[in-house]
Structure 1
Amino acid sequence: MPSRARVASLFVALSFTACGGAGGSSREPSMAGGDTAASRGRAGADIPPAGPPVRVDCGDFSTCAIAEGGSVRCWGRDKKGELGDGGGPDRSNNAAVPGLGRATALALGSEFGCALQDDKKIRCWGTGRIANDGKVHQRARATEVSGVDGALDIVASGLIACARTTSGVTCWGGEPKTIGTPPSGAFSQIATGFTHACGLDDKGGISCWGTGDWAPRGSFSKPPITGAKYVATGDRHACVITRDNKVACWGQNDAGQLGVRADTEGHKKPVEVPGIDGIVKLVAGESATCAIDGNGTVRCWGGNSEGELGLGKRSSDERPTKLSSVAQVADVCLATTHGCALTKDAKIVCWGGNADGQLGDGSKDRKLEPSNVRW
């Protein structure tokens, strides 16, 4: 199966040819890890001072976090403008994204990022159909998303982003036929994969939309689930927190991402993940899954070829294993080759692939165990 990076680059290249071009701006100089005038850019006066981190999200090869004051700070790959500064060299130290107000939620895709601001508007940056305006943007700075009013939350992964609003769900980022149409009705929570999304309804049922097996009549789009409390989806699998705070997953399991021995079946019915209980938060990466329990303990399973599970080794697949080197975790994110955790004492640690500086520790060395982010 082609890597996310190759698929995303090909998709954007083809879309750009079809559309005939789109916006973006030239890159201003930036200083990694500091709020100099250069790094603040045009909207420097609007960037709140950086406090301790309160949210973190992983893009394919970049990472961003929201600081207590509402500013967004990013690090990692910047070839496609993923760091919000118009594109440039990769950064292994964080710097603020210019042109944003106070952010309350954050979501990263393959080559773009988005922030929900306290005025309920969403601004996105990077490369792709990031603004819901019919254009393919190249290395764009923060740009307001069209047609999304009253946003309550935002999620993104791969090519697409979706916002839950007071009137329903709006998705953008790929061709309309790639995104599909969200089912009618209200969702209390949504999650996105590379080219699909899933929503949790008020009865704890799940509906998915997008392409292939995740299309409305696809094999994985309507699993026999009720009473679910939370949903997360990777590229080819999805998981829920069940009514009794356990985890059940369905979809492909070639890397053990369902929490059981890897196989080549397509699991239409959810499989309960063994040894997992008391779960309060769940995330899914490309082919991996992590869960946080009520004590702040993280357990991860699935693909680990780049050390993206943080277990101190690389392997083709892993059964649920405790991330023993990190405790009291408040939030966690997974992407293609890396993961990050935010602890309850406001520290960020990251692990896995680091060729683009996405671990934020000042290096580009792979880390098989969590490494402290320079904040």
Structure 2
Amino acid sequence: MKLPLTLLLSAVLVAAQSTKVPVKVDGESHKLILFADGTIGGWGDSRDGQLGPRAAIPNSSGHSTAYVPIALPGKARDIAAGARTSYVLLENGTVVAFGAGFDGQLGCGERGLSGSETPVEVAGLTEVARIVARFNSAFAVHRDGSVSMWGGRFLGEGERRIVTPERAVGLPPVTQVALGGGFLMALTPEGRVWMAGKLPFGRIYADDPVQPLAEVPGLTDVAGIVATQVAAVLKKDGTVWVWGNNDQAQFGNGRRDIDERTRVPVRVPGVANVTALCGAMSGRHFLALLKDGTLRTWGNTDWGQAGIGVTGREQATVATPRINGVKAVFAAGNNSLAILPDGSLWIWGNGSPYPGVWPLTRRAPFPVQLQIPEGVVQK
């Protein structure tokens, strides 16, 4: 018996709605993934509860051996993964955190220093537009452009610990914040960049002082910012600029030289028409998404995170990963991930040294499709 066309269309619609569509991936030693329906999951290091209750997670040496669904008190709009703590921006504009709390990472006061395996609300945060985390520090950008910060060892200030969020002082209204190796970058709506910490204008020697917040001189028309061991920006004309130290070929100029340093942004050669830029701290590599849906990459590719079949060295010139038609790209730890228009998720780079750890059991020097298990994400 043939089904009526309306029933067939309804079945197709239900099937489409039940498919998890990824929209963002973030993390280093543990990864978080956000789906379009407001649910999240993750994998990787689970030893501090940063993936939820540890007793429920199959693991090998504290690393998940399966994809982990993460229960939330509401729908998620953004995610951020610190070193040992996870953060979720909920659709009501508040933020929850779970995992380690010894440096104030949970942002809920002294009671949070022991950590939490279940989401706890970060105190006093409302009207949040996006969240960022790196190491033991976390930041929230509010809808009015102000910034709140909490956690530990912020901008080279020793062992200072902020157990409940404080508003950043001295910043103009911003749209983006990025955290690098001891430095902060912030982007204003006008396309100007402010920085502070160990690398505001290229801190390249050990005795260089920690700098206060200040605007990067001469840098305008910026569309995006990236902070790793070096600083990088995507300009509105589609070019990429970087400054700091070229010890991992992050300049993309054909050289890997620990003595090549710059305090002013220099253009990455051979990269144009870029619409999105990302970089990883431990991966020490960059990925640029072009208008035509192709990618460009440079920097370290010890684990194959360049996606060009190369492992065990740096990629000193800009190269093209073996994947096309990309909608979004993410550099997460020693891995790279891409989302295609059909909602499929692709991954390449490091496989875990721990037996049976999900999702890659060995290095993947070329992109491979990552299948998120059906029906495991809790609503």
- Compute the TM-score of the two structures, normalised by the length of structure 2: 0.77
Partner of 1:367: 364
1:253 maps onto 2:246 in alignment:
yes
**Cα shift at 1:202:** 2.7
Label 1:312 to 1:177 Cα distance change in 2 as closer, same or farther (>3 A). Answer: closer
- Determine helix, strand or coil for the equivalent of 2:177: strand
Counterpart Cα distance in 2 of 1:175 and 1:291: 30
1:126 maps onto 2:99 in alignment:
yes
Partner of 2:13: none
Label 1:210 to 1:123 Cα distance change in 2 as closer, same or farther (>3 A). Answer: farther
Partner of 2:32: 64
Partner of 2:288: 291
Instruction: State the Cα RMSD in Å.
Output: 2.8
1:231 maps onto 2:225 in alignment:
yes
How do 1:1-375 and structure 2 match up within 5 A?
Answer: 51-86=19-54, 89=59, 90-128=63-101, 129-135=104-110, 136-138=113-115, 140-167=117-144, 168-176=146-154, 178=156, 181=168, 183-211=170-198, 217=211, 222=216, 224-234=218-228, 236-260=229-253, 261-263=255-257, 264-286=259-281, 287-318=284-315, 319-324=317-322, 326-355=323-352, 362-375=359-372
User: More deviation in 84-93 or 314-323?
Assistant: 84-93
Greater Rg over alpha carbons, structure: 2
**Cα shift at 1:223:** 5.2
- Determine helix, strand or coil for the equivalent of 2:220: coil
* Code of the aligned partner of 2:252: G
* Code of the aligned partner of 2:285: A
- Determine helix, strand or coil for the equivalent of 1:147: coil
* Code of the aligned partner of 2:224: Y
* Code of the aligned partner of 2:279: A
User: More deviation in 88-97 or 299-308?
Assistant: 88-97
Label 1:367 to 1:177 Cα distance change in 2 as closer, same or farther (>3 A). Answer: closer
User: More deviation in 175-184 or 66-75?
Assistant: 175-184
Asked if 1 retains the 8 angstrom alpha-carbon contact of 2:51 and 2:117, the reply is no
Counterpart Cα distance in 2 of 1:176 and 1:297: 36
Deviations 1:218-274 (A, max 9, x none): 79973531111111111x212111131111111121001122222223311111111
Label 1:275 to 1:92 Cα distance change in 2 as closer, same or farther (>3 A). Answer: farther
Counterpart Cα distance in 2 of 1:170 and 1:138: 20
Aligned length: 325
Asked if 1 retains the 8 angstrom alpha-carbon contact of 2:155 and 2:182, the reply is no
Counterpart Cα distance in 1 of 2:117 and 2:68: 17
Deviations 1:101-153 (A, max 9, x none): 11111111221221111001111222143222344343532121113211011
Asked if 2 retains the 8 angstrom alpha-carbon contact of 1:58 and 1:339, the reply is no
Give unpaired runs (5+ residues) of structure 1.
Answer: 1-48
* Code of the aligned partner of 2:333: T
Counterpart Cα distance in 2 of 1:232 and 1:335: 13
Give unpaired runs (5+ residues) of structure 2.
Answer: 1-16, 161-167, 204-208, 373-379
Asked if 2 retains the 8 angstrom alpha-carbon contact of 1:300 and 1:321, the reply is yes
**Cα shift at 1:176:** 4.8
Over the matched positions of the two proteins, sequence identity in percent amounts to 22
Counterpart Cα distance in 1 of 2:360 and 2:279: 25
Deviations 1:340-363 (A, max 9, x none): 112221111111122178x98644
